[in-house]
Structure 1
Amino acid sequence: MIEAAMIWNEPNNKSHWDPELDPDWRLFAEMATGAAQAIRAAHPTLPRVLGGISPIDPAFIGNLAERGVLDHLEVVAVHGFPLDWNLWQIGEWPMKLDEIRAVTDLPVWVSEVGVSSFGAEEVQAWGVDRTAELLVGRAPRIHWYSLYDLPRAWEATTRHREAEGSSYYRHFYMGLLREDGSPKPSLEAFARRAPALGLCQWFHFEDHRLDDAVAWMRRLGVRHLRTGLSWADSFRPNALDWFDRQMAALEEFDVTVTFCFTPEHRGLAPHHTSPPLVPAEFAEFCGAMIRRYARPGTPAAALG
């Protein structure tokens, strides 16, 4: 079932929102507020979550609070990858959560946390255990990113690409399973920590891994899953058929569904990171997806 609706993904990261088009996040605030209102109109109790921020920046949360966005949300979320991209150490996780709690009374979820196996698979396995030690009991939801490595034939969702140097290639080694589906040492470490640790797994349009992912999540005892429905994908042929298949396959899990990605032809610029030409169109997409996939009697998630 859908237990929460997340509005966008990493809105303070230029890989997901273009700061040149919206330097003060005024347009994002307008879009997010409209989306939150549409979700509430479609479902009276479903928790609404601010897309996990990366980097963890209390000033960004303060900006959105001043613009009234947080008045329409029940949860804020953060993303952290201290062993791969962030400029802080993994042991600072509790302090990072406290920095956000200092600027909002809303519960703080960790909607993406992970460690790549780019340098060594043993480091990733250690990272699972250390992350669980630091976060379990401190955040109501913790979504490990991710179940699968990103196939090398695909592109990572980033605007930096090879300009990041080796950091770019770490995107492809975040899974507990290798691209061929074989398990890494971290899988066993994760299994010991589930269901306290949930998963974040993005499924691409008509993703061939969907059924195998469901089988693995059952085997691992996963309860909480974060995934996404792409506004941009909704314009593809047979989009609703794919959305229906994806959401039906995931129905047994408690799903936080993330709405994001601007269609190229509906943005101020032709890119998925662009603010939309008409923010109400994104709101309409969010409301339609909630009406289609969230049961009216769905109980509110345990927010924390």
Structure 2
Amino acid sequence: MIDSVMLWNEPNNKSHWAFEEDPEWAAFAEMTIQASRAIRAENPALVQVLGGISPIDPQFMLNMAGKGALAELDAVAVHGFPLDWNHWQIHEWPDKLKEIQAVTDLPVWVSEVGVSTFGAEEVQVFGLKRTAELLLGRAPRIHWYSLYDLPRAWPATTRHKEAEGSAYYRHFYMGLLREDGSPKLALPDFPQYTPEMGICQWFHFEDHRLDDAVQWLRDLGVKHLRTGLSWADYYRPNALAWFDRQMQALEGFHVTVTFCFTPEDKGIIPHHTSPPRDPREFADFCAAMIRRYAPGQTMHGVPRAEPAPALDQA
């Protein structure tokens, strides 16, 4: 079911990469190169994608190209939320894609695009329709963010939390479904755009929404799903049991799995956004996940059927 892998998430966004510890992104580039090579050694058929960038910044892509990271990959990705956070208007989407297409020959995915219902659900109805008009046919893969609202009891993964004012609270209203699973106004329109438009839905550790989400995705006609497997979560008790359950539930979809989040004890600083002290450990995690959930072929044409050895769960 895994047809592609994404290396990290929003690496040029301080909420996801502590670039004060890596101001030129040299550590990020080296980590990406090592992870890409480790994944390709396990399954060369997988499409490998640079973590979707936010903001959309051609200079960041040039930096990654200059450091050799893009040479290892098959695609790049961007994220855009012009009705909520970005300092550009929704009709500029084609130009934003062209900015990245001008600096790389790799395909440009839109791995997150969405509209919050923070102010009114009608805004999301408009935003979905206009996004589809502007992006379908212009990007090889588009993932709407997201299926569910973020539960208010969970924190949003962002920089300054409540200090961001309404920008922070918009994170909790990005779903086509409310937290309780009831549909919003835009939900009935979404099947007009599937299967060309996929969905990005992050599942938290032992997420209670998993089974209901799978049924909704099927009902909506979704074929392409982007989700994540957290390196930090890999060290929780029963992590592999949860990963197994999640990936088994997602059979039948074309899954883009995102590998990200540094375990606190493996970072330069104790935070999930930190560059790892040893990038090889992230590469080993990625390779282990591919062996377990998307095994490729050995040089003799025999599938790699052995499960990945579990890391120390202590």
Structure 1 window deviating more from structure 2 (53-62 vs 186-195): it is 186-195
Q: Report the Cα distance in structure 1 between the residues aligned to 2:194 and 2:259, rounded to whole angstroms.
A: 25
Q: Per-residue deviation at 1:163?
A: 1.6
Q: Report the Cα distance in structure 2 between the residues aligned to 1:192 and 1:184, rounded to whole angstroms.
A: 16
The percent identity for this pair of structures is: 74
Which residue in the other structure is 2:260 paired with?
A: 260
Task: For 1:293, give the aligned amino acid.
Answer: Y
Q: Does 1:82 align with 2:74?
A: no
Which residue in the other structure is 1:128 paired with?
A: 128
Q: Report the Cα distance in structure 2 between the residues aligned to 1:265 and 1:287, rounded to whole angstroms.
A: 20
Contact 2:6 2:48 in 1 (8 A): yes
Task: For 1:201, give the aligned amino acid.
Answer: Q
Q: Per-residue deviation at 1:295?
A: 4.2
Which residue in the other structure is 1:251 paired with?
A: 251
Which residue in the other structure is 1:233 paired with?
A: 233
Q: Report the Cα distance in structure 2 between the residues aligned to 1:296 and 1:13, rounded to whole angstroms.
A: 32
Q: Per-residue deviation at 1:190?
A: 1.1
Whose relative contact order is higher, 1 or 2, with alpha carbons under 8 Å and at least 6 apart?
Answer: 1
Q: How does 1:1-304 map to 2 (within 5 A)?
A: 1-296=1-296
Q: Deviations over 1:208-253 (max 9, x none)?
A: 0000000000100000000000000000000000000000000110
Q: Deviations over 1:74-131 (max 9, x none)?
A: 0000000000000000000000000000000000000000000000000001111100
Q: Deviations over 1:40-74 (max 9, x none)?
A: 01102111100000000000000000000001000
The residue matched to 1:185 in structure 2 has which SS? coil
Task: For 2:224, give the aligned amino acid.
Answer: H
Q: Per-residue deviation at 1:196?
A: 1.3
Q: Per-residue deviation at 1:296?
A: 2.4
Task: For 2:255, give the aligned amino acid.
Answer: V
TM-score normalised per structure 1? 0.97
The number of equivalent residue pairs is 297
Q: Report the Cα distance in structure 2 between the residues aligned to 1:95 and 1:147, rounded to whole angstroms.
A: 27
TM-score normalised per structure 2? 0.94
Structure 2: tracts of 5 or more residues without a match: 298-314
The residue matched to 2:226 in structure 1 has which SS? strand
Q: Report the Cα distance in structure 1 between the residues aligned to 2:168 and 2:145, rounded to whole angstroms.
A: 16
Contact 2:9 2:51 in 1 (8 A): yes
Structure 1: tracts of 5 or more residues without a match: 298-304
Contact 2:42 2:295 in 1 (8 A): no
Task: For 1:88, give the aligned amino acid.
Answer: W
Contact 2:36 2:72 in 1 (8 A): yes
Q: Per-residue deviation at 1:189?
A: 1.6
Q: Deviations over 1:143-183 (max 9, x none)?
A: 00000000000000011211211000000000000001000
Contact 2:109 2:139 in 1 (8 A): yes
Which residue in the other structure is 1:300 paired with?
A: none
Task: For 2:57, give the aligned amino acid.
Answer: D
Q: Report the Cα distance in structure 1 between the residues aligned to 2:128 and 2:197, rounded to whole angstroms.
A: 9
